[in-house]
Amino acid sequence: MKKQTKLIRIQTEKSGFREHSTPLYLTSSFCFEDAEMGKDLFDNTLEGNIYSRFSNPTVQEFVDKVCMLEDCEDGIATATGMAAVFAAFGGLLQSGDHIVSSKALFGSAHQIITQILPKWGITHTYLNADATEQEWESAIQPATKMIYLETPSNPGLELVDMEMIGRLAKKHELIYCVDNCFATPVIQNPVEYGANLIIHSATKFMDGQGRVLGGVICGTKEMIEPLRFFCRQTGPSMSAFNAWILTKSLETLTLRMEKHCSNALKVAEALEKIEGVNSVKYPFLKSHPQYDLAVKQMSSGGALVTFDLEGGFERVVRFTKLLTIPSLTSNLGDSRTTLTNPNTTTHAKVPADLKKELGITEGLMRLSVGLEDPDDLIEDFIQAIQNSK
Ligand SMILES: *Cc1c(COP(=O)(O)O)cnc(C)c1O
């Protein structure tokens, strides 16, 4: 069966009520039929649900779908995307270990790597997303345990060559971890390039309507086993309610992504033609410096577009007041188009020199193109840019 069919048809086993839609198992714990069953469940001679911090059928349905989409053997859901990122580090690394990472990262991932992990003696080396294979390789030290990256990155939409990193990770026997949130499994599957750990913030396109927070990590059984232990003991579990929302949402992920991507390409092309826009970045625009890599590893350009508005933050304030459709909010991956100014919001805490390297200017706008009619969006951008001069 094709992935789309499985995505629709994977479902928790029916209960005695013969329900058609998937049930929401909103329960903290599960009963033992007798004391022996409790003992067997706890000593792993019997597999089954015990307590929703460890596992829950609704959460498992969501995990099963993501594992299927990412071609992964096993996975674990977390309360947020950041809990997934932190679990990947916390569950697999120890004092003295070193991470080689792309520096084009989500703001909070940057904070974990630079502010939190050093407290436990875990160090890192940052590289530009487009660094050469030699540069990536020379950053690898004897203590290096993991290569971590995001592609496309938030907010710069920089790409990392996943095939090249796969070669290095294999050669040096490293954990190869990709935050695949921006592309979603519909657009790229990092496993194809040898990634053994894939992270998603399910809050974004997997939900797709800006309702619940969630995260998921999937990978090989070998990678997930220590993470399952870490999550079971430390408790960043996904709520069954959120999993229920997310598993229903996944049924339409492919359809939504196709529309998100075609709308985003239209909006990006239109923005390139508007006076007052210094530059536009979108992986599937020929003007993207890594366009060739984008078409090689992505099946479409995604929903995120960035553009640099002439006139700095004051222009940003005037421009956003004039927009009538997009929502000004830091979330992305919503059916509704959302817009932020990363310099003053999501990436405000990133040091100024790093911001400069990442292209986070005062006038940079990060646009998550939604499912509205693209012509309406384009018309709205044109009027707001022209009238905010
Ligand atoms: C939003 C985001 C995260 C964090 O996810 P939360 O669900 O907000 O915790 C991590 N990585 C990327 C690329 C993101 O866009």
Last residue of a domain, one of 227, 252, 277: 252
CA angle 198, 174, 225 (to 5 degrees): 55
Q: Is the pLDDT of residue 335 over 90?
A: yes
Whether 203 lines ligand 1, by a CB cut-off of 6 Å, is: yes
Residue among 281, 352, 240 nearest 129 (CA): 281
Q: Ligand 1: which of 204, 245, 334, 338 to mutate, most ligand atoms within 8 Å of CB?
A: 204
What's the whole-model pTM score? 0.95
What single-letter amino acid sits at 88? A
Phi, psi of 242 (to 5 degrees): -65, -40
The pLDDT, as a whole number, for residue 250 is 98
Judgement on whether residues 104 and 153 belong to the same structural domain of the protein: yes
> Which atom of ligand 1 is nearest the CA belonging to 150?
13
How far, in Å, is the centroid of ligand 1 from the Cα of 159? 17
Residues 219, 280, single domain; the answer is: no
Please name the residue whose Cα sits nearest to atom 7 of ligand 1.
Answer: 81
Which pLDDT score, from 0 to 100, does residue 197 have?
Answer: 98
Examine the domain organization and report whether 259 and 244 are in the same domain: no
pLDDT of residue 64: 98
Q: Is residue 201 within 6 Å of ligand 1 at its C-beta? A: yes
Query: Do residues 139 and 286 share a domain?
Result: no
CA distance 223 to 170: 15
Q: What is the CATH number of the domain that holds 290?
A: 3.90.1150.10
> What's the whole-number mean pLDDT along residues 65-76?
98
Residue finishing a domain among 202, 237, 252:
252
pLDDT the model gives residue 339: 96
Place of tokens 């309360």: 79
Same domain, 282 and 243: no
Token pair belonging to 68: 């299927």
Q: Which residues contact 203 (CB under 8 A, 6 or more apart)?
A: 80, 81, 212, 213, 214, 215, 331, 333
Residue that is last in its domain, among 252, 271, 297: 252
Atom of ligand 1 nearest to the CA of 82: 9
Q: What is the pLDDT of residue 287?
A: 96
Query: Could you tell me if the CB of 81 is within 6 A of ligand 1?
Result: yes
**Position 1 in a domain:** no
Instruction: Check if 181 has its Cβ closer than 6 Å to any atom of ligand 1.
Output: yes
Residues 285 and 377 placed together within one structural domain of the fold: yes
Say yes or no: 377 and 319 in one domain.
yes
Confidence of residue 258 (pLDDT cuts 50, 70, 90): very high
Is the CB of 90 within 6 Å of ligand 1? no
**% pLDDT > 70, the chain:** 100
As a whole number, mean pLDDT of residues 127-152 equals 97
Query: Does any domain span residue 68?
Result: yes
- The residue whose CB lies within 8 Å of the most ligand 1 atoms, and thus the one to mutate among 113, 203, 368, is 203
Domain range holding 311?
Answer: 253-387
Query: Average pLDDT of 7-13?
Result: 95
Give the DSSP H or E segment for 229: helix 221-234
CA–CA dist 112, 375 (Å, integer)? 40
For residues 121-145, give the mean pLDDT: 97
pLDDT single digits (tens) 28-65: 999 999 999 999 999 999 999 999 999 999 999 999 99
Instruction: Tell me the average pLDDT of the chain.
Output: 96
Looking at the structure, tell me whether residues 197 and 336 fall in a common domain. no
Length of the chain: 389
Tell whether 14 is covered by a domain: no
What's the gap in Å between 14 CA and the centre of ligand 1? 33
pLDDT at residue 200 in the model? 98
Counting from 1 in the atom list of ligand 1, the atom nearest the Cα of 333 is: 15
Q: Evaluate: CB of 182 within 6 angstroms of ligand 1.
A: yes
pLDDT of residue 117: 98
pLDDT at 107: 87
* Under 8 Å between Cβ of 276 and 389: yes
Ligand 1 atom, smallest distance to 214 CA: 7
The CATH number linked to 163 is 3.40.640.10
Q: Residue 203: what are its φ and ψ, rounded to 5°?
A: -55, -30
Q: How far is the CA of 344 from the centre of ligand 1 (A)?
A: 17
Tell me, what's the pLDDT at 77? 98
Q: Which of 101, 154, 306 to mutate to test the pocket of ligand 1 (most atoms within 8 A of CB)?
A: 154
Q: Residue 92 contacts by C-beta under 8 Å, 6 or more apart in sequence?
A: 145, 146, 175, 197, 223, 226, 227
* Ligand 1 pocket check for 150: Cβ under 6 Å: yes
What distance in Å separates the CA atoms of residue 348 and residue 330, rounded to the nearest whole number? 12
In the chain, what is the straight-line distance between the N-terminal and C-terminal CA atoms, in Å?
54
* pLDDT at residue 354 tops 90: no
> How many domains are contained in the chain?
2
Cα-to-centroid distance, 309 and ligand 1 (Å): 25
- At residue 333, the pLDDT reads 97
- Classify residue 289: in a domain, yes or no: yes
Q: Is residue 4 included in any domain, yes or no? A: no
What are 151's two structure tokens? Answer: 């592609």
Same domain, 113 and 238: yes
Express each pLDDT in 146-175 by its tens digit. 999 999 998 889 999 999 999 999 999 999
Ligand 1 pocket check for 117: Cβ under 6 Å = no
Q: Which atom of ligand 1 is nearest to the CA of 153?
A: 13
Distance 152 CA to ligand 1 centre (A): 13
Give the DSSP letter string of 95-122. TT-EEEEES---HHHHHIIIIIGGGGT-
Q: Say whether pLDDT at 202 is over 90.
A: yes
